[in-house]
């Protein structure tokens, strides 16, 4: 049996290499041959564009011709994949997440249901088993629970029959670390279906409410100004402007590509009374560039007194808004780490169907209750208060029944594939190997 280790450690962190060294003989004892140890920071990976072309133009293959294709093939062709990463705001490192964002190509665009939730169907007949190992240098039970929850969600979406996950201490002795790794490999035989992992509830930050002078929207979608994320945040900014708040919008993906724009973005974040992050859900979490920015902000603000507030709007392609829960919990953990008051998050399901880019800003009966709820949010944020619970619940409601959303989504994919001349190739399996896994 073949195993592949993906090391998502950042530069200067030797923990991934250390774990891989201790883990390899343990895997060998279970009958696995570690074929590849991939240090992801050494790979050339463009960020996922959110363009769906890996489904609709080159089915099963990302249109970005870089190392993501090699990594996607290794992922699907392995019997066991081990993901190594420092626990980053309860999630994965940007280095690991940058690879995972591309793995959407390894599943089908069409929907199925798993435990009553919408998920993507299988593209391949068999998928790799999955192990996620995180590490931290200080005890943090909340982030450990979040990490376990994220790995569990990933195992569902990657269709892993066997999976396990856990968090180790980076400063543990070799003997202690080996014992923890032995336990993880020993427990691999439990299946995803046997149990779930609860996500801890994180409350909004208390403190004295104060009137806003300015607000900054950070758009976390690679589709930038034309995205549904930008439209949702843009509507909220319009309502804040109507209450006398000065506003500004910066697209993270664009700013992160240029050193001067990146610095200007960081300075704008420093000045803002309120930052509103609007982003799409990618593989159960935030897009890799957003996690990278969060890490930079935390490092930049380390040791400084708390200043400013933070709120977030998450939207996902699945109709169930609750699938955004982990990403919003990550936002809350980030806010605390960066010295920002956490004013709460908004979760929207079926974002593309409800918002459809800038269409949300136009009049329309379907969007009326959602706009009214965002009006309530703006009124609260304008005076420094958290997102109202009533508004949060309204925004979380599905705009159509789940079965209809899944049906409409399937019709859309078929229509666009037909237009691109690839309808018959939608189920292509470019990384399939003829020698199926043993055992």
Q: What is the pLDDT of residues 52-85, one digit of tens each?
A: 999 999 999 999 999 999 999 999 999 999 999 9
pLDDT at 361: 62
Distant-in-sequence, close-in-space partners of 90: CB < 8 Å, separation ≥ 6: 142, 143, 145, 146, 147, 150, 326, 329, 330, 333
Closest by Cα among 247, 255, 239 to 216: 247
What is the share, in percent, of the chain residues with pLDDT greater than 70?
Answer: 93
Closest by Cα among 145, 118, 160, 92 to 322: 118
Mean pLDDT by groups of 10 residues along the chain of 439 residues? 97 96 95 95 96 96 97 97 98 98 97 94 97 93 96 96 94 94 85 68 75 95 93 95 97 96 98 97 98 98 94 96 97 97 96 66 75 96 96 95 92 94 96 60
Contact yes or no for 44/95 (Cβ under 8 A): no
For the full predicted model, state whether its pTM sits above 0.75. Answer: yes
Q: What is the pLDDT of residues 304-333, one digit of tens each?
A: 999 999 999 999 999 999 999 999 999 999
Q: What is the pLDDT of residues 197-248, one digit of tens each?
A: 889 888 887 666 678 999 999 999 999 999 999 999 999 999 999 999 999 9
* CATH architecture assignment, domain 214-396: 3-Layer(aba) Sandwich (3.40)
Q: Which CATH number fits domain 2-194: 3.40.50.360, 3.10.530.10, 3.40.50.1100, 3.40.50.2300?
A: 3.40.50.360
> 214-396: same fold as 2-194?
yes
Closest by Cα among 439, 438, 435, 429 to 125: 429
In the sheet that 129-136 helps form, which strands lie side by side, from edge to edge? 33-39, 2-7, 80-86, 129-136, 163-169
Average per-residue pLDDT for the chain? 93
Q: Which residue has the tokens 């080996």?
A: 178
pLDDT at 438: 40
Every domain of the chain and the residues it spans: 2-194, 214-396
Contact yes or no for 375/430 (Cβ under 8 A): no
Question: Judging by beta carbons within 10 Å of its beta carbon (0-12, 13-18, 19+), is residue 312 exposed, middle or buried?
Answer: buried
């Amino acid at each position: 049996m073949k195993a592949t280790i993906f090391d998502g450690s950042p530069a200067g962190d030797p923990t991934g290499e250390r774990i891989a060294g201790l883990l390899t003989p343990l895997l060998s004892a279970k009958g696995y041959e570690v074929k590849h140890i991939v240090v992801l920071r050494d790979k050339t990976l463009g960020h996922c564009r959110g363009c769906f072309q890996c489904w609709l133009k080159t089915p099963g293959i990302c249109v970005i011709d870089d190392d993501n294709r090699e990594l996607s093939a290794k992922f699907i062709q392995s019997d066991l994949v081990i993901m190594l990463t420092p626990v980053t705001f309860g999630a994965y490192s940007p280095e690991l997440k940058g690879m995972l964002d591309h793995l959407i190509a390894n599943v089908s665009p069409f929907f199925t249901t798993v435990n009553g939730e919408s998920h993507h169907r299988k593209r391949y007949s068999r998928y790799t088993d999955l192990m996620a190992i995180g590490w931290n240098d200080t005890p943090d039970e909340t982030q450990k629970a979040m990490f376990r929850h994220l790995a569990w969600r990933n195992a569902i979406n990657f269709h892993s029959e066997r999976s396990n996950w856990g968090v180790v201490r980076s400063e543990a002795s070799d003997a202690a670390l080996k014992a923890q790794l032995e336990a993880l490999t020993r427990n691999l035989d439990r299946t995803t279906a046997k149990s779930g992992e609860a996500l801890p509830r994180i409350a909004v930050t208390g403190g004295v409410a104060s009137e806003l002078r300015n607000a900054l929207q950070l758009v976390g979608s690679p589709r930038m100004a034309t995205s549904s994320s930008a439209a949702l945040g843009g509507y909220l900014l319009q309502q804040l402007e109507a209450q006398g708040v000065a506003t500004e919008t910066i697209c993270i993906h664009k700013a992160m590509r240029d050193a001067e724009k990146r610095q200007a973005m960081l300075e704008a974040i420093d000045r803002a009374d309120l930052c509103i992050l609007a982003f799409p859900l990618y593989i159960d979490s935030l897009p890799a560039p957003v996690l990278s920015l969060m890490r930079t902000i935390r490092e930049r603000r380390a040791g400084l007194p708390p200043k400013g507030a933070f709120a977030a709007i998450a939207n996902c392609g699945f109709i169930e808004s609750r699938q955004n829960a982990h990403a919003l919990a990550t936002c809350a953990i980030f806010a605390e780490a960066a010295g920002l008051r956490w004013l709460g998050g908004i979760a929207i399901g079926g974002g593309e169907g409800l918002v459809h880019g800038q269409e949300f800003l136009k009049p329309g009966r379907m969007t009326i209750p959602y706009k009214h709820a965002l009006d309530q949010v703006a009124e609260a944020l304008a005076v420094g208060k958290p997102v109202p619970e009533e508004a949060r619940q309204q925004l979380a409601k599905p705009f159509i029944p789940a079965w209809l959303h899944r049906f409409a989504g399937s019709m859309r994919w078929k229509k666009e594939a037909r237009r691109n001349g690839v309808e018959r190739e939608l189920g292509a399996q470019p990384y399939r190997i003829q020698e199926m896994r043993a055992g």
